[in-house]
Amino acid sequence: MSHAVLDIRDLRCERDDRELFADFDLRLEAAQALQLRGPNGAGKTTLLRCIAGMHPEYEGSIRLLGVPVSGDQLLFVGHRPGISGLLSAADNLRWHLDLAGWRGSGGVVSAALERVGLIGYEEVPCQQLSAGQQRRVALARLALPTAEVPLWLLDEPFTALDDAGLQLVSGLMAQRLAGGGAILFTTHQPAPDLPGLSTRWIGAAS
C-alpha cells in the first residue's frame, strides 16, 4: 500500500492554553501543493512547526510517507530565514549543504545563487543585502540538491519578494512538484499558478 507523503490524523494542538486545532485531518499526496490560509494567529505557523517536530505539544498522528517525521525528509523555511547575516550567501548555502552531509562540489552553490539572481553578491555578508535579497538567499536553499526531499514546508515564502522573485519561487515549487515532491505553504498573497494546488482555510474565518 502506498502512503501519502503527509498524513495528519486527529491533530489536537494548543498554544498558550488556546486550542488551535481539534480533530484536524490533512492528507497530501506526491506532486500536490496545499496553500494554508487563515487570519493572523489562526495557527498556520504552529501547524508547520508541529509537522517539522518543533512544537511537541500536540496529540494525534503526523506521518511522512507512513513513518514518523524525520528532519532529513523535509525542508523547512520559516519566518526566521536560517541565514546568518555575518556570513556571505555562498558560505550560508555551503553550511546548509554540510548540515545535510552533502559531499560534492561547490558548483551547486553558485548554480543555486544564479537561479535566484544573486550572481555578483556571493561573497557579500548577507546583512549588507536588501530584505528582498536576503529572502532570496533563504529561498536559494530550495534550489540546492539537498532540497530534493519528499516534503517542503514554506512559511510565507513570498514575503518581501518582487514580481520576478515571486515567479522564481513558484518556478522552483513547480519544479519540485514535477519531481514528485509535496509542498505545504502559507501565504496571505494570492496563490501562484501551480499544478495540483488546493487551498485549505484554517482558523475562525471561512
Q: Does 84 bind another protein (CB under 8 A)?
A: yes
Distances (CA, A) of 119 to 70, 104, 139, 140, 143: 33, 20, 14, 12, 14
Under 8 Å between Cβ of 42 and 202:
yes
Supply the DSSP string of 21-86, one letter for each residue. Answer: EEEEEEEE-TT-EEEEE--TTSSHHHHHHHHHTS---EEEEEEETTEE--GGGEEEE-SS-S--TT
Q: Does 55 bind another protein (CB under 8 A)?
A: yes
Number of residues interacting with another protein: please give it, by CB under 8 A: 34
Using only C-alpha atoms, what is the Rg of the chain?
A: 17
Supply the DSSP string of 167-189, one letter for each residue. Answer: HHHHHHHHHHHHTT-EEEEE-SS
**d(Cα 64, Cα 3) in Å, to the nearest integer?**
8
| Shortest Cβ 87–another protein spacing (Å) | 6
Q: Does 31 bind another protein (CB under 8 A)?
A: no
Write the binding mask 91 to 120 for another protein: x where contact by CB under 8 A, - elsewhere: x--xxxxxxxxxxx----------------
Write the binding mask 138 to 167 for another protein: x where contact by CB under 8 A, - elsewhere: -------xx---------------------
| Shortest Cβ 93–another protein spacing (Å) | 11
Interacting stretch for another protein, rule CB under 8 A, among 19-27, 65-73, 114-122, 161-169? 65-73
- The residue (of 61 and 84) whose beta carbon lies closer to another protein is 84
Interacting stretch for another protein, rule CB under 8 A, among 29-37, 39-47, 75-83, 179-187? 75-83
Q: Which positions touch another protein (CB under 8 A)?
A: 52-56, 70-72, 76, 78-87, 91, 94-104, 125, 145-146
